[in-house]
Amino acid sequence: MTGSSIQSLTSGEIAKYCGVTLRTVIRWLDTGKLKGYKLPGRGNNRILLEDFLAFLDQHGMPIPDELTPTPSKLVLIVDDELSMAKSIQRVARKANLDSVIANDGFQAGLLLSAKNPVAMTLDLSMPGMNGFDVIKRTREQADFSNTKILVISALGHSELNRAIELGADHAMNKPFDPEQLLVTLESMTRSDPK
């Protein structure tokens, strides 16, 4: 969220956001229309951000741009080696990306549908449904046509090229260079419309 550091608002801030007088906001608080609390001592009102957003939603009022939640960008990490998946996850965290791990192609399909990530890192060599099958199935579904796919595999150059031909956006070798992965993840997710 753009204003994620904002935990509570004053009555005056609420009045400015809503374009009303301070007296109106106090009336909303006194009648229970707007949920808030008083600070000990002087009794100044504070309203939790989540309560203010709920109030705006309940009354069909627009949410100010600076308080509009920014959807976090999620990366689906698909690798049957947990240690490798965790290494990729650490790099994703440095890129300020949330991530979820799938340890096979089948689980990747389930998480792709459930989580709708902006990008997916994908190993090609996995038991059951391999990475090539995951690419094909992902690209066959219109809902995931914009999902970026980064293949990270120990297979040779020809297999990485085949993955690109099937619809992967980028491919890199294992073991990967963390800095190169960081730059690639940032560029893949920066221009994403989600």
**40 and 55 part of one domain:** yes
Q: Which amino acid is at 162?
A: R
The answer as to whether 47 is a domain residue is: yes
> Tokens in use for 72?
């976090």
**Which of 67, 100, 117 is the endpoint of a domain?**
67
Domain of residue 133 covers: 74-190
On whether the CB atoms of residues 182 and 95 are closer than 8 A, the answer is: yes
Q: Is the pLDDT of residue 158 over 90?
A: yes
Question: What pLDDT, on a 0 to 100 scale, did the predictor assign at position 134?
Answer: 94
Strand 148-153 relative to strand 170-173: parallel, antiparallel, unpaired? Answer: parallel
Which is it for the CA torsion 7, 11, 12, 16, positive or negative? positive
Q: Give the DSSP H/E element, type plus range, for residue 101.
A: strand 98-102
Q: Which amino acid is at 70?
A: T
CA distance linking residue 133 with residue 50, whole number of Å: 43
The predicted-structure confidence for 83-112, as pLDDT tens digits, reads as follows 999 999 999 998 889 999 999 999 999 999
Contact 119, 185 (CB under 8 A): yes
Element (H, E) at 48: strand 45-48
The pLDDT-based confidence of 63 (bands split at 50, 70, 90) is confident
Whether residues 127 and 160 fall in one domain? yes
Q: Residue 70 — pLDDT band, cuts 50, 70, 90?
A: low
Contacts of 87 (CB under 8 A, 6+ apart): 176, 178
Q: The CATH number of the domain where 38 resides is what?
A: 1.10.1660.10
Both tokens of 71, joined, read 């959807």
Residue from 39, 54, 43, 46 nearest 6 by CA: 46
Domain count, the chain: 2
